[in-house]
Every structure is written in structure tokens, then in C-alpha cells.
A and B are shown apart, each in its own frame.
Chain A
């Protein structure tokens, strides 16, 4: 949750619920504004304090077990992330990998650096990767179809042999 305040009057002027982006594993470490004040970049870091909001004991136990078994193994590779919020449309513009970033003064470019030291530069506003997503979806559906055909072929072949 982000809260916005008018410093002159001390009044709260708005809130922004970022929902599941702020999970127990992540906390907002820094916020960056573009000079033109259109974009708002929230840097999410892995929360090392491990604060939990669960209050049901069994769920807590299950979560601890999961953390030990699964998350602790991938924790070191769990990427930090940056969420870009568009103040004009009051919507999330997108999220990008990296633990810190900067927006150019004219608000047209976003540069980020990730844990491996890779710098990425995006054009703003962030566009959803429709082409890539379509490619992946097509590959999955075609793969599934091929698999079903292969299974059917195996079954037909087995039936013929029998």
C-alpha cells in the first residue's frame, strides 16, 4: 500500500493498493519519480526480516515448511523486481526485473540493473509483450496437441497389436 500526503496541510490525499505485488517475501525498499512526475517506480526487495501476516497456526507451520523445503533453495535466485505505476492513468504500467532503476528526465526511458549486473533499458510506457506471449501460447497449445496425437497413435498402435 502506498499512501500519498500533502506535506503543506498534512492531509492524506490518496492510497494505492498494489495487491499481491507486496507479498511477505518482498518489501518496498525505495521509490523513484520521473522528473515529469508521470511515472512512479517502486523497488521491491527481498524482505530478510521474514515478517509474516498469517495468523492461523497450521498455515504458519505449512508456510514455514514450504519456506524451508522450497523457498530457501530458490531464495538466492529469487529476483528483485520493480513496479512502474503510471500516475496519469492511475494504473500499474508494468513490472520489470532488477533491484534498482532510474527514469529519464523526460519520462521516456527506464533503465534497471539486476543482481547479475545486467542493465536493461525500456521505452516508456512499458508495452505488454503480446508477440512473445502469443508465441509461447501457440507453442504450448501445439505441443499439447502433438502430445495428444502421439498418445492416441500409441494407443491405436497398441490396440492394433493386441
Chain B
């Protein structure tokens, strides 16, 4: 081989090899970047630790429920991303206690309003007896509801008014025995009390325009009173309604579970839809849903009794703004009921 050829080969090797390596390295970087970008988690704006570790013990116990199970949930994050509300639920055999905490995302500091630490406030979130579901969590789903939840003054006003009413009712019907100490914080609230999600009114059972409290007999109630939170003014009274009902976010409709309708033990439970504005019952429908498996659309008045996870059946009517659309049984809905383990309601597709 000539000396000039050897020199040329060496030169071409010198040029080609780095070029090839550079090209290979660039391609590898590009490919790896794509792979990482597709699989790595995005970088969060804020990140902070809390003491709310999840209980990962295996599910044991009656009904698959763990004793002392601790569940965390985030019910709300503010529109500016600055605050997060965290719910901590401590379950026991047949009751639970729930506590809300508020966190500042930029600093990671807890900024829970002072009144959220009151035992009476805790009672609102708990189900120590009678399986109370007072609807406080639903307050977080609306703007006005959140305003009430954060307003300590409004809360104190409502609590004071209810405590006065309870004291007055004690004069009428003195309890046979002193309630246990642990129950004292629950006794402030009238029976079957429920907050409207808009935070403007509460509903409770009453008799002769007087709230029925836990030391009184539930059967003495003759109807459901709806009271404005701010003023304490009674805005509606639905005669004959004694089961707690769930008020729609708009505050104009309510859905009520009726058990053992007309006193018949073998009868199917039913759902009744009430028009609060016009004080009339819009419809009653037999259904197999449990109390929890129903929901109102957040932005409107539509109500859909959802399918039960246990039965897997999609049952009940779909109510929309007073109009009723009975759900005819179909193979499609059966499929939905069988496959779906969770579902939600959306406004538009």
C-alpha cells in the first residue's frame, strides 16, 4: 500500500469515527430522553411531607374493614394552588372519625382554622352513633359552602343558636338519664341534621316548630324544617318527612330515602325527590340502592342513584330539574353494572 493511501485511510478514520460516535451518542440521548419523558413523573410545583402515612396493613375483619383503618383523602385544592385540604378518616368497627386539615402548599405548613379543632366540629365529621352523615364534606364542593366552612364567626353563630335550642328543649323534655360524656359533643345537633352543600341552610326534624334533639324520641317529629344558617330563619317545612335527606347543591331539590314505606317491613326502600322551593314531593321511586349510592350533579339539580358495588345493578330513576327519566333495564346498563366498580356523573361528553 502506498504511503499516501495509508495517510488517507488514517485521515478518514479520524474524521468518520468521531462523527459516527457523535451521531450515535446524539441518537442515544434523544431516544433515552423520550423514554424518560414518557415514563418519569412530571416535576411538581410544590412538594411537602405530612405525617399522614397510609395504613398498608392487609384488609382484615368483619366486612373487609380494618379496625383502626386510617384513610387519607384530598377533598379540595384551591384555585390558586396555594392551599390543600386533607381529610383523615379513622375507622373503627362500625363508626368513624374524620378530621380536616388545611395546608399551605408553598411552605408546607399546616394552617388549619382554629374552629376545625373543636370537638363539636369533629362531631360534625364523625359517625359515632346513628351513622350520622351531616353533609359537611359536601360543603367543600361549592364556593359558598367552603366560605361557610372557613368562617369561624358563622360557625360560632350556628353552634350557639343550636346549643340554645337544645337547652330550651331540655326544659321541655328532660332526659331520663345523663348522657355519657363522649356523647355530649354530638347532642348539640338536632336529629337528622344535614347541611345544604351551598352552606346556606340546614335541615333537621322538628315538632311544633322546635328542633328534635338526640335526647328526644325521633318518632315525635312531625316534619323536616329547613333553616337559613346566617339568620336562623325557617325557610321551609316539609310535613311528614322524618328521614334525613340530601339537599342538592343548588338548594332547590332534596332526595330522601324512605325505609319501610307505610310501615310495611317487607317493602322495598324507596327514594323520594322533593322540590323544596314549592314544598312538594315530586316523585317516589322504589329502588335497591343503598343510602350512599346516590349523588347530585355538582353544578345542577340532576340526581342519579348510582349502582351499588355489592349488587352490581344499575337501578333507579334519573331525575333532572324536576323532570323524571325512568331508567329502563337494558343489556347495556347491565354491562355497566357488572363491569363498573366505580362510576361518576359528568355533565357533558
Contact = CB atoms under 8 A, between A and B. Distances in A.
A115 B49 CA distance: 11
Interface stretch (A52-60, A64-72, A97-105): A97-105
B318 A7 contact: yes
Contacts of A112: 74
Nearest to A109: B81
Nearest to A121: B46
Given A12-B332, A33-B344, A102 B37 contact: no
Nearest to A111: B77
Contacts of B299: 35
A102 B25 contact: no
A76 B340 CA distance: 26
A48 interface: yes
Contacts of A48: 58-59
A31 B42 contact: no
A145 B25 CA distance: 9
Among A28, A95, A100, A121, chain B packs the most CB atoms within 10 A around the CB of A121
Contacts of A119: 46-50, 74, 84, 86, 103, 105, 108
Contacts of A120: 44, 46-47
A31 B25 contact: no
A4 B349 contact: yes
Contact of A117 (B49, B80, B345, B346): B49
Interface string B47-81: 11111111010110000000000001111111111
Interface string B327-347: 110101100100111111111
Among B30, B41, B58, B341, chain A packs the most CB atoms within 10 A around the CB of B41
A17 interface: no
A10 interface: yes
Contacts of A141: 25, 28-29, 32
B320 A8 contact: yes
Contact of B53 (A8, A76, A117, A136): A117
Nearest to B340: A3
Interface in B18-53: 25, 28-38, 40-53
Among A6, A12, A128, chain B packs the most CB atoms within 10 A around the CB of A128
A104 B342 contact: no
Interface string A118-135: 111111001111101110
B325 interface: yes
Interface of A: 3-8, 10-14, 27-33, 35, 37, 48, 76, 94-97, 99-106, 108-123, 126-130, 132-134, 136-138, 140-141, 144-145
Interface of B: 25, 28-38, 40-54, 56, 58-59, 72-81, 84, 86, 103, 105, 108, 143, 298-299, 304, 318, 320, 325, 327-328, 330, 332-333, 336, 339-349
Given A12-B336, A132-B36, 4 more contacts: A119-B74, A121-B45, A134-B29, A140-B32
14 contacts: A3-B340, A10-B328, A99-B54, A102-B74, A102-B75, A115-B54, A116-B53, A117-B49, A119-B46, A119-B84, A119-B86, A126-B42, A134-B33, A141-B25
